[in-house]
Structure 1
Amino acid sequence: MELSENVQTLFFVLEYTGVGLAATIGGTIAKRMNFDIIGFAFVALISSLSGGLIRDAVLNDGPAAALTHPGYIITATAGALFAYLVDLRGKAWETFRFYADLTTIGVWAVGGTLKALANGLNWVPCVILAIITAIGGTLVRDVVLRRIPSLFTEQKMYVLPAIAASVVMLVFNHFGMLYGGMLVAAVIAPILAVALNFGGRYITALDAKRTERPLEEKLADALGLESDFDGAEEAAGEVVAALDAASDAQLVAALRVLLRNEVKERTEAKA
């Protein structure tokens, strides 16, 4: 597939944007872990370049783009230096880091899809390469740092937006609007990622609220009372009466049981 000059230019703009953002985010993680300058540079570079390197290795279409275009290394180094020299912390930075991380999903998904199209691949490999490019850097970084890859805990926030971006771009390309598809796909992915993130938090909080037992039931268990009360009002009355009649030693013992049960319930809820 022959790519126009405008498409190639947009491809490199998006790629370099993703590289710069990923290098900065990776650098801040290395700084937080008190790495030296070598470890710092290594984490920043693998965060920003691994996805593209894996993609190009899978395609086996000559040397990887990061090795043939010096702009990749220069951009990654600039992002790493920025993170190293500037004290990036606080609520404003964490907010920026969160949205920047999601922005890279669309950028990388577009890059992976375009590379696959340029090599004449059909829809399924295009989507697979979009996912590989979008998650590769984060996955390799987490493995190197011996952390559970966020792909396995927040996969809906990374994989689904990458798939959506790739499909959108493929649809636009089908109708001969590849350039517009790249722009739309790069925007849709982070929007979907944000929606999935906040939607998931809302559902989790709602489920927790629904399954949360009333305080009077927890206190009844801690005090050793029967928990099959006829309504919340009766339960509250029985618990209040039991608390008034309990000695200090009994209250301490009940508090110990209450706290132990609370910790156990919250631990099981997160599992």
Structure 2
Amino acid sequence: MTLLQVLDLAAVFVFGLTGALAASRAQLDIVGFVFLACLTAVGGGTLRDVVLGRDTVFWVAEPLMIVSATAAAVLVFFTAHRVESRLRTLEWLDAVALAVAVPAGAGLALSMDAPWIIVAIMGVATGTFGGLMRDVVCNEVPLILKKGELYATAALAGVLLALGAAAVGVPSGGALVACGCATFALRAGSMLFGWNLPVYKSRPPRK
């Protein structure tokens, strides 16, 4: 397996765990667990591959991805009751998955010699789209839209760091590791220490 395939597989499994945890919070049956896990796991990568015009979407070319997401769903179905706070666990697993999926998306775009802005968009989209679909299907406020939290911003910062590292000659593997570490650090800091962006506050119109 290449580094990008390993990143895709890791992201699929961890995002699958978050989808299954969301299913447990919604008290779905095992089919619902598998559906939500797979939707979350492959959503971002599917969008990336379609937009970039790859010949075959990654999970069609490598069915192990769907098997991995399904295994995550089954694991959570039988163990979720042991988790003290499923929402908090979901958020931390989502942060880990974000930190893996963002470099996977950015790395693929880089390997296709895409312009830097496309690399940035693909990194952010790969990391966020599956979780966005999960939260919308479960009728939850998407994590990406929670007031002021660093989520898409963390992903974008990680991609920009990778682009900067690649521009000064850092090998692609090192640049992608830096991307993942920066993404996770910012997302974790937002959850632990309240790091956030300023939010819009309405003001009365001037007379």
- Tell me if both proteins adopt one fold, taking TM over 0.5 as the criterion: yes
Q: Which deviations, in whole Å up to 9, do the C-alpha atoms of 1:25-55 show, x marking residues without a partner?
A: 1112112212122222111111111010111
Q: CA 1:123 to 1:156, structure 2 compared with 1: closer, same or farther past 3 Å?
A: farther
CA contact (8 A) 2:21 2:86 kept: no
Tell me the equivalent position of 1:45. Answer: 38
Give the CA deviation at 1:168: 1.5
Tell me the equivalent position of 1:83. Answer: 76
Q: Which deviations, in whole Å up to 9, do the C-alpha atoms of 1:52-98 show, x marking residues without a partner?
A: 01111111121111110122112111111111122344447665443
Tell me the equivalent position of 1:18. Answer: 11
- Give the Cα separation in 1 of the matches to 2:44 and 2:98: 11
CA contact (8 A) 2:149 2:196 kept: no
- Give the Cα separation in 2 of the matches to 1:144 and 1:96: 19
C-alpha RMSD of the superposition = 2.3
Q: Which deviations, in whole Å up to 9, do the C-alpha atoms of 1:161-180 show, x marking residues without a partner?
A: 11111112112222141111
- Give the Cα separation in 2 of the matches to 1:96 and 1:150: 13
- Give the Cα separation in 1 of the matches to 2:164 and 2:196: 31
CA contact (8 A) 1:105 1:161 kept: no
- Give the Cα separation in 1 of the matches to 2:170 and 2:185: 24
Tell me the equivalent position of 2:186. Answer: 192
- Give the Cα separation in 2 of the matches to 1:114 and 1:85: 35
2:140 aligned counterpart, secondary structure = coil
Range 85-94 or range 180-189, more displaced: 85-94
Q: Which deviations, in whole Å up to 9, do the C-alpha atoms of 1:107-161 show, x marking residues without a partner?
A: 1110111111122211111111111111111111122223332221156421111
2:151 aligned counterpart, secondary structure = helix
Matches within 5 A, 1:95-244: 96-154=89-147, 156-174=149-167, 175-200=169-194
Tell me the equivalent position of 2:24. Answer: 31
Q: CA 1:158 to 1:203, structure 2 compared with 1: closer, same or farther past 3 Å?
A: closer
CA contact (8 A) 1:113 1:129 kept: yes
- Give the Cα separation in 2 of the matches to 1:154 and 1:48: 24
Query: How many residue pairs align between the two structures?
Result: 197
Q: CA 1:202 to 1:117, structure 2 compared with 1: closer, same or farther past 3 Å?
A: closer
Which structure has more relative contact order (CA 8 Å, sep 6+)? It is 2
- Write out the 4+ residue segments of structure 1 that deviate beyond 4 Å after TM superposition: 92-96, 201-204
State the TM-score, normalizing by the size of structure 2: 0.85
State the TM-score, normalizing by the size of structure 1: 0.66
Give the CA deviation at 1:189: 0.9
- Give the Cα separation in 1 of the matches to 2:86 and 2:139: 24
Q: CA 1:201 to 1:170, structure 2 compared with 1: closer, same or farther past 3 Å?
A: closer
| Aligned-partner residue type, residue 11 of structure 2 | G
- Give the Cα separation in 2 of the matches to 1:18 and 1:115: 14
